[in-house]
Structure 1
């Protein structure tokens, strides 16, 4: 074999081997430009998918101080526009035991508000944040059991208990209890509502049973709305 021919054969062997091993056309310019090549697939699969976690709902009541939670459960003037009431300057310290059969609203942090109607009727509300181990619904259940007396006295005036009044189930409320009490020249109706660990009692005192019943029927749904809007 002539020397020039032998050298040409030796030089061609590496290129032929490269083409055979890659099983691709021997085109070095397009070999690295192919986006579907093995190297491109490997680099795509090496990128880890981002990990997403769903946030747990935050119990806003647990983050607030009990006094703030109780205050937020009270109806404000904007909530009582339809009632045309004004703040009662004689509003007293929150009373967690109602005169009606000595119904107890439970232990905890309490706040109270009091309002006057143009007619002289009074609207009073107490909100109590129960202790961590108590649920407000348990307080209402206990109040239902306590409301067994037929009469009670307030400042020497005798009231007769009337449990005939009913109100449709209020949205968002865990339990509810409504009753009225009537004296010779005064009547009152009370709604006790529970949601989570807050219990609220709303009482309307009016000159006649009809006025007291009408007012508590209007006010109770608004009290439930305020009670549950920050839950």
Structure 2
């Protein structure tokens, strides 16, 4: 009896030892074969699109001096309060045309026969302030209200004529008023100064 039990135990022990050699069905790490590693595909680098070079903006063309001068001239509406009518002749001022200056002139006539003249000069070489500084009208200096936005202003009176010069950038505006009396000429020039300044400072 004891001999049979010993044989049975030995058989069970042998089965247990041989069972360790095979894969454990409950162990997933040993039951299946290791997966074969696959090589990963590295995407090729994508080149960023190159934007075309922007063309440099074309430089702005300088305005025509004659057009610029015409834009700064007083209009009939600007002098309507003076009771004048368009004139047919040019009134000479104290600022003469230089070789580098372009100008436009407009004139009006008072019912009394007196004249009002407005001239605008353009100095492309930017010597406008110098031209006025070197200009001296005959007569006495007149004090007129300082105008905003201008670089330089000067005024003279001689007899029954008053002349005012305003400078801004390359432009010079010359206003000449000839009236029946000196005081009337000066007063008319003072009345027209704001409109004259507005036209001048509105230009580029």
Q: TM-score, normalised by structure 2?
A: 0.68
Cα distance in 1 for partners of 2:29, 2:134 equals 106
What does residue range 8-157 of structure 1 map to in structure 2 within 5 Å? 63-88=62-87, 90-92=88-90, 98=93, 100=94, 103-104=95-96, 106=98, 107-132=100-125, 134-143=126-135, 146-147=136-137
Aligned with 1:174 (options 147, 151, 170): 151
**Which region of structure 1 is more displaced relative to structure 2, 116-125 or 215-224?**
116-125
Aligned with 1:199 (options 172, 192, 201): 172
SS of 2:27's partner is helix
- How far apart are residue 105 of structure 1 and its match? 5.1
- How far apart are residue 117 of structure 1 and its match? 2.3
Give the count of matched residue pairs: 159
Report the structure number with the largest CA radius of gyration. Answer: 2
Q: Which residue does the alignment assign to 1:162?
A: 140
Runs of 4+ off more than 6 Å = none
**Larger relative helix fraction:** 1
Gaps of 5+ in 2: 1-19, 36-56
